[in-house]
Chains A and B, each alone.
Chain A
Amino acid sequence: GNSVTQMEGPVTLSEEAFLTINCTYTATGYPSLFWYVQYPGEGLQLLLKATKADDKGSNKGFEATYRKETTSFHLEKGSVQVSDSAVYFCALSEGTGAQKLVFGQGTRLTINP
């Protein structure tokens, strides 16, 4: 079946540091890929997405590129802020039928001032 594997957390960085959170996937067909973010006490919200190979999703300074050859969708940000502290989830969807999402286990990110 389809699955998503994220780098284990938690991750703690200083403000303005470079961020990478690794995500790899296993899927049949051609999935769409997503990063969702969960701020403390809130539900998940979409951060960025990519629907086909070599697509780059970007939002709020975060970027991720859909790499079919390495089945990866790593999340990056050049300079993190304290407000980026949250849990980040990588997910995939086949994009057809019921459009169910399969999530990775999440990576808790803490940014210290």
Chain B
Amino acid sequence: NAGVTQTPKFRILKIGQSMTLQCTQDMNHNYMYWYRQDPGMGLKLIYYSVGAGITDKGEVPNGYNVSRSTTEDFPLRLELAAPSQTSVYFCASTSPDRVYYNEQFFGPGTRLTVL
């Protein structure tokens, strides 16, 4: 199993550009998450999904959109990039079958810089 994969690894955007961060997992996990990690800070939840067709906002959703058309994929869209969105983005997944041991599996991250 590849686990959770993310593309691209690095990206530089100009203010106002848009892009999609890709996330795919091959563990058949129903639950998927997007986090951002700012320098010296913990991870903050942007959006999450408990299954295909179901998404919900996390702590910091402004400026982002998500969709979940399949169990495997959970892309994150930035429509109008702003410098405040410069961050490292992590995708994660977990299975609700392990309710009392809900380890989340993380991808390697996408480092995004908006100039």
Contact = CB atoms under 8 A, between A and B. Distances in A.
Interface of A: 4, 32, 34, 41-46, 49, 51, 89, 91, 93, 95-96, 98-101, 103-106
Contact of A43 (B94, B101, B108): B108
Nearest to B50: A98
B53 interface: no
A32 B42 contact: no
Contact of B100 (A4, A46, A95): A95
B58 A51 contact: no
B27 interface: no
7 contacts: A32-B102, A43-B107, A44-B43, A98-B31, A101-B43, A103-B44, A105-B41
Interface string B26-64: 000001010000001111110010100000101000000
A32 B100 contact: yes
Contact of B102 (A43, A45, A89, A95): A95
Given A49-B103, A104-B42, 14 more contacts: A4-B42, A32-B100, A32-B102, A42-B109, A43-B108, A44-B104, A46-B103, A91-B42, A99-B31, A99-B102, A100-B45, A101-B104, A105-B42, A106-B42
